[in-house]
Chains A and B, each alone.
Chain A
């Protein structure tokens, strides 16, 4: 029920008026199509399933690491960024969970080894050291998510998931730009602190 409401909400977005049109050659042979040759809803192919699982795990890690950052970050910009990650990714995670449920896709219930290792490492840090390690990890995670979302747009066949990918992409790109800006500021500050005073004393 909730999933249906979300799907309607996405379908109503004006910029996404036309459905994604995939390459039928790459679709599962048992796919059911409507009269226009479009896959009927909620028939994920292997790519949709993998996409939903990878993005769900990534989204979960976003929130888990951001919660750590809110406790341990030194710079205000990092705390603000982490709060935004909690807000944006919690919302996206909820949406994705609804769409996955509607399509019968099981989602992971814990962090993968990569993010678990990242969390373990970050738990041993605080302040400026934490800030850089967390933010650099955020850049890589958002780069990977960007490529995954783009992959889903043409490689998937579950229209709701494809619309989710398209609708989420600008936000992820925005997060990536913000993370790069914060890392640039943090490293500039660090270099400035280490540099000798301008008068040479």
Chain B
């Protein structure tokens, strides 16, 4: 009797289990997790190298269709260190037969139905979507190799944008603790080889140790010792400041660690670390609430794409939270924005110092342009929020460009506009090359109907930030 009941109970349990199993066949594991390599390293390198010209040609074709990437410096306007001119003009190409005004006069639905959103406004693909990882401009590779004998060249892909649309290099360094000194970089790129000589006497011991760790290479998904790497030699890895050169950015790019599958991961343009002391959320998608969290978790994200499983076999380095992370955070928190002599303590233009055009630009920024709704002057032109621009109102998602699926961006962190002329290209993925491009983009997205004078004034204003 009792045996029958037990058997009956078991059957019920088994039935319930099979019903649960029937509704839960998971998607394949590599939709979320990184696949283990199946090809011998030497052969994978040979094939990647053979593909490289085609990879770069495909990217060039896409970029040329989207943008005018010619060298058109703005007359007499340099970045803060005086090492590179700021580029002029709108570079996103218009669809045939359209003008910026004709597009601005349409509804989002009309633009979407007519397939008229300029391609340069859409998400920008990584050079090699399937392989992913950091890609550095050649001038960064050369300088780090010269100083450290550490070669960041990849055999599968190169950087894709011309130097003149990128930030100056090496960028100046301004410290909140030493505003009287101005730029303390001596015109050098900080590395593990030179930082002590340059910074001793300026930093505290704790800041110096934080800087040393930020300059120390650690294994990364594509730069490591395993067969799953994209460098010819077994590699020591990359340092935090390989991308955030002198705590600014060199426009080296990566993939978001926060999205799967691989084809949906969007490009990330390295952000500047200037003004970190005022920034309350970190990571374009993660909204981490402190620079300490971000510093600690970057080992899982920038270094290993949000995949701690893959990281475990390649040599993940998690800095100790109570000491090393705090040191690294303290170092980052003394990096200042470049000086903005025309701004008063509230972040507003001083009318005695600003031009008429700059003042008009500020007026548009605060009013008709709606910029200040998120870029609040007194909060270092941020609002510590994420916002969804809902760009998919203007185009149909799902198109595949260079193996990358164009999907809605969703909410993205508001970036600061302080020192904005120093950090092209713009937006989280670097899809816009110039400040004039950003004005046209937001004029369309926010439907603000700005006149040409107002657009020009906004650009002039942003150069003062």
Contacts and interface: CB of A to CB of B under 8 A. Distances in A.
B28 interface: yes
Q: At the interface, is chain A mostly helix, strand, loop or mixed?
A: helix
Interface size band for B: 35 or more
A124 interface: no
Interface stretch (B17-25, B68-76, B212-220): B17-25
A173 B128 CA distance: 24
Interface stretch (B84-92, B260-268, B315-323, B433-441): B260-268
B47 A151 contact: no
Contacts of A117: 19, 22-23
A37 B397 contact: no
B403 A25 contact: no
Interface string A32-58: 010111100000010100110010000
A36 B263 contact: no
Interface string B43-57: 110011111011100
Interface in B207-245: 227-228
Contact of B131 (A23, A36, A166): A23
B261 A24 contact: no
Given A25-B39, A26-B39, A154-B403, A114 B30 contact: no
B130 interface: yes
Contacts, number: 130
Given A15-B399, A37-B47, A147-B27, A29 B40 contact: yes
A21 interface: yes
Nearest to B264: A150
Contact of A154 (B263, B397, B399): B263
A112 interface: yes
B37 A170 contact: no
A148 interface: yes
Interface residues of A, number: 43
A113 interface: yes
A38 B51 contact: yes
Contacts of A38: 51, 54
B50 A36 contact: yes
B128 A21 contact: yes
A20 B41 CA distance: 21
B31 interface: yes
A25 B400 contact: no
B261 A166 contact: no
Interface of B: 19, 21-23, 25, 27-28, 30-31, 35, 37-41, 43-44, 47-51, 53-55, 58, 61, 128-131, 227-228, 261-264, 396-400, 402-403, 405
